[in-house]
A and B are shown apart, each in its own frame.
Chain A
Amino acid sequence: MKFLLFTLLSTLVVVFLNSVAPYWVVMIAVTVLAALIRPSNWGGFLGGGLGMGVAWLGQTLYISAVTSSTLPDKMGAIMGLGSGLSLMVLTAVLGFILGGCSGLLGVLFRNLVQKKPTDVYLG
């Protein structure tokens, strides 16, 4: 549950925050979000990665669809990557790595500061 919640929320954070803030602010936000929600270590990495990766991929797809611009292909050629499609993949992978590391960092930070919950009624 926490993993799904975290993935969904980090996607939303990227979509809304990234439109006004650079990528590194978004990374910090994903870190904070992970620390608040506290999914598992893997959940933090995968959730943050998917959140940012999917959001970035979705945005490139959206931009390509509404503009029909040839720019991604031109950029792909200039960067020696062939087509715009490879840039789309590259953008998604970069988003995944940045988001994933941020998510994991948030979880590890939370683990660090939070003591084992010994005095909680566990039922």
Chain B
Amino acid sequence: MKYLSFISTLIITCALGVLVALPFGQIPPIAPLLDPNHGFWQNSFSEDQLAEESLDLENLNASVEVVYDEQLIPHIYAENELDLYRAQGYITAKHRLWQMEFQTRAAAGRLAELVGPMALELDRMTRRKGLAYGAELGIAYLQKEDPATLALVEAYSDGVNQYINQLTDARLPVEYKILNYKPEAWSAYKSLLLLKYMSDMLVGDRDLEYSNLKKILGKANLDRLYPDFPSDNDPVIEKERVWDFQSLYPAKPDSLTYPEETLQLEALAQPTEGTGSNNWAVSGKKTKNGHPILANDPHLSLNLPSLWYSMQLSTPQHTVKGATLPGALGVISGFNEYIAWGVTNATKDTRDWYKITFQDASRKAYKYGEEWKNSEFRIEEIKVKGEEVFLDTVVYTHYGPVVYDKSFKSDRQDVNFALRWIVHQGTSNEQKTFLQMNKATNHAGYTEALKDYAAPAQNFVFASKTGDIAMRIQGKFPLKWKEQGKFFMDGADPRMEWQGYIPFEHNANTLNPERGFVSSANQHPVDSTYPYYTFDHSFEHYRNRRLNSKLTAMDQITVEDMKALQYDSYNLQAAESLPVLLNLLAGYGASSKEAQKYIADLKGWDYFADPAKKGQTLYSIWFAETAESVWRELMDQGAPVVRPNNYQTIALMRDTPEDAVFDVHMAAGIQTAQYHVQVGFDSLLVAMKKWEAEEGDYGWADYKKTTIQHLVPTFKAFSVQDVYTGGGVGILNATGSRHGASWRMVVELGPTMKAFGIYPGGQSGNPGSRFYDNFIPIWAKGDYVDFGLKKKEDQKGVLFKTILN
């Protein structure tokens, strides 16, 4: 009896001890998670409660001091650069490890390893686009051409790994505990991969859609509805700029034939609408204090932990501060003691598709001119949680990887398209650009730093203490004949090849222009006099004009003025189109009480998308429904296409309301713009009836529901929802429901640098910390925190200090 009870209790106890350590489906092991000493409870502590006076960091040449300010912004003081970046890696990992790891796993196409088969398609897509392939080439390039940069990237990586190796269960970020996995070693490769991932996030192409549109609409109509330049183009580089170089613009070959079939492929994921940015610099002659002021606000998906992490990095030779990308070295958008710089996305079509004609089903060779070229095979081994490893064979041509083929995303057996993209060229060195920029002291240093920068192309704004302001559209841009790459090309025809690259010196740039400011807001980079082919589908048409008209009009500018401009919520598109809509509505539906109320809201609106404004909500629905109605037949052709942009749609409604594009073939009679405006208004009434019944108030912030989402969307409690803030797409404060100003910075370049910054998140990546989302309320109101440079001795506003040795 004694034996029986002992043995049964032994079995029960052991089984229990083991069971609570096992995951069940999506439920993580319960005991390690709940154990108050090692589980999630331990993640309740904020960083200042866990402050250490000193920490072990090996391989340092001298000890490094880290001083945190009251916002948990670390200021790292090192004696040399190797120590500095080793410490940057260590400290970044300490606050953002899970995020850096998760993002690089996504970039490597390794999410299925964590979450199972649901991520397999996404992983395959990521890999077939060749991001990892590009990063491998990038490492090989550094090994051969730039061992000095590689040594710094490896020091950073060593810092991250030393942190991982010291990590206790208690300090393990809570996401690992919930998802039940452990961090793996960091590497220089992952840092490069992260920069490639930025390209993926920011670069799109519409070759598929334009190929289809050309077939559906015909070339003449395509050019009319989708012109290369808008009628009032207000480009990044001022129109007055004279291009005084000998252009290498290649002539278009005669009698080219394009792949002709209408393509039913699924379009590649594109940067979401609302992804964009503003930056500008005003010269001292326009400012109150006589010093240049620089401002930058990149717009990206609003996520937690934030994409950005702010830091000051100091050695005896240089001190730089601003926004870093966890995983990459140095500061990406910031300033030092001499200069300030910032970035916006410079969209320009740098991704092209070539139809590949394989010799036979083995796909070992493909047609190129008169010969057959050999292809290469890359086997992607994708681990899938709970399932067997998935092997994906990707064919590589000299153009790049064949993304769509018989095994992937295609109903058609004969479709094979290769992707040509700068990301696959192994000769770029973006990391070096940022390392050099961090140390640059003048315009020459800024220009020199940009020489190694290839992708994703950015508008680099610049200002210096000595009074220079500048803008350079930097990327490695293929040399194309007119309209090359706008449509799918035939990879068998060598004349379809890119014709080389636009020389660095010919990339559009300007220094101290007459107008006293430089600016960019993702619009057309240049006007039509720039002697190279410039095309992209997604150029901005409103933020740029609002920004430039304000900057032109402003004088005696202060830092406060620049902050207010970053937060400006004037909706220029509404100002230009609402009168057109109201005019075309012509009293339609006015008998209904609701309609009268909404019309009164709209007529009384001042075009500012402030949080409480009802007019903005009504306009945004009405315009969206109207445009939807105008282009419905075009979109319903059964093949992926894109609509003409809002600017063109509005121009057509205003200037030629009886244009044939407004006629609906399915409906009787002949329709004009008026018909669509009225259909849109009916839809508005339906939508508002539902909204008012279910949600009540329709003030803009209540309607758009800005959400800053955790990187794992199902962890809703780690997201911050319904942030009360204004702005929207096409507005300088570009904060929509899921996208917006991901970082705002204003720097005045006087004798001492005055700087202010904010981002919608917090310095800590830990959802349990008080520093996880403490910046959000400040950001939502358009306020900033002080971002001035700090000296090691400064005692004011110190949260705590840590010595690394």
Whether A23 lies near B31 (C-beta < 8 A) is yes
The prevalent SS among residues of B at the interface is helix
Which residues of chain A from 97 to 123 have any CB-CB distance to chain B below 8 Å in the complex?
97-98, 101-102, 104-105, 108-109, 111-112
Cβ–Cβ contact A63 & B716, under 8 A = no
Tell me whether B16 and A98 are in contact (CB under 8 A). yes
Q: When the two chains form their complex, are residues B35 and A23 in contact, meaning their CB atoms are under 8 A apart?
A: yes
Kindly supply a per-residue 1/0 record for chain B positions 768-788, scoring 1 wherever the CB is within 8 Å of any chain A CB and 0 otherwise: 111000000000000000000
- The closest CB in chain B to the CB of A22 belongs to B38
Give the segment of B5-13, B230-238, B501-509, B522-530 that binds chain A. Answer: B5-13
Please indicate the chain A residues that have their CB under 8 angstroms from the CB of B20 in the complex. Answer: 23, 94, 98
A64's nearest neighbour on chain B, judged by CB, is B44
Given the complex, which residues of B lie within 8 Å of A75, measured CB to CB? 40, 174, 178, 717
- Return chain B residues, CB-CB under 8 Å to A98: 16-17, 20, 31
Known: A27-B13, A78-B716. A87 touches B46 (CB 8 A): no
Interface pair B36/A91, CB less than 8 Å apart: yes
A111 → B minimal CB distance (Å): 6
- For window 163-209 of chain B, which residues contact chain A by CB distance below 8 Å? 169, 174, 178
B588 within 8 A of A: no
Whether, in the assembled complex, A2 has its beta carbon less than 8 Å from a beta carbon of chain B, the answer is no
Asked if B768 and A24 sit within 8 Å, CB to CB, the answer is no
Judge whether A91 and B767 touch: CB under 8 Å: no
Q: Which residues of A contact B21 (CB under 8 A)?
A: 24
A45 to B26, CA, bound (A): 31
Residues of A within 8 Å of B38, CB to CB, are 22-23
Which chain A residues lie closer than 8 Å to B768 at the CB level? Answer: 67, 69-71, 74
CA distance A56 to B30 in the complex (A): 14
B2 and A111 within 8 A (CB): yes
Is B24 on the interface with A (CB-CB < 8 A)? no
Given A71-B44, A77-B717, CB of A101 within 8 Å of CB of B12: yes
Which residues of A are found within 8 Å of B30, using beta-carbon distances? 94
User: How many residues on chain A are close to B (CB under 8 Å)?
Assistant: 38
Contacting residues of chain A (55-105) with chain B, CB-CB under 8 angstroms: 56, 59-60, 63-64, 66-67, 69-78, 87, 90-91, 94, 97-98, 101-102, 104-105
List chain B residues, Cβ under 8 A from A40.
none
Rounded to whole Å, the gap between the CB of A30 and the closest CB of chain B is 10
Q: List the interface of chain B (C-beta within 8 A of A).
A: 2-3, 5-6, 9-10, 12-13, 16-17, 20-21, 30-32, 34-38, 40-46, 49, 169, 174, 178, 714-718, 767-770
Known: A23-B35, A60-B36, A74-B767. A105 touches B44 (CB 8 A): no
Say whether A78 contacts B37, CB under 8 Å: no
Distance between B773 CB and nearest chain A CB, rounded to angstroms: 10
User: How far is B178's CA from A105's CA once the two chains are assembled, in angstroms?
Assistant: 31
Known: A98-B20, A101-B9, A105-B9. A78 touches B45 (CB 8 A): no
Q: Is there an interface contact between A77 and B10, defined as CB atoms closer than 8 Å? A: no
4 tightest Cβ-Cβ pairs between the two chains A and B: A71-B768, A69-B44, A59-B36, A77-B717
Residues of A with C-beta under 8 A to B178: 75, 78
Given known contacts A24-B17, A64-B44, A101-B13, is B36 in contact with A74 (CB within 8 Å)?
Answer: no
Q: Which of A69, A71, A90, A112 contacts B6 (CB 8 A)?
A: A112
B46 partner residues in chain A, CB cutoff 8 A: 67, 69
State A112–B30 Cα separation when bound (angstroms). 32
> Which residue of B is nearest A111, CB measured?
B2
Asked if A71 contacts B174 (CB within 8 A), the reply is: yes
- Using Cβ atoms and an 8 Å threshold, which residues of chain A touch B718? 74, 78
Contact pick for A22, options B2, B32, B714, CB 8 Å: B32
Once A22-B169, A74-B717, A90-B34 are accepted as A-B contacts, the answer to whether A109 and B41 lie under 8 Å apart by CB is no
Given contacts A69-B43, A69-B44, 8 further A-B contacts (CB under 8 A): A18-B37, A27-B17, A63-B44, A69-B46, A69-B769, A77-B717, A90-B34, A98-B20
| Given contact pairs A24-B21, A77-B716, A94 touches B31 in the complex (Cβ within 8 A) | yes
The 12 sampled A-B contact pairs (Cβ below 8 Å) are: A23-B35, A56-B34, A63-B42, A67-B44, A69-B43, A69-B44, A71-B44, A75-B40, A90-B34, A97-B16, A98-B16, A101-B12
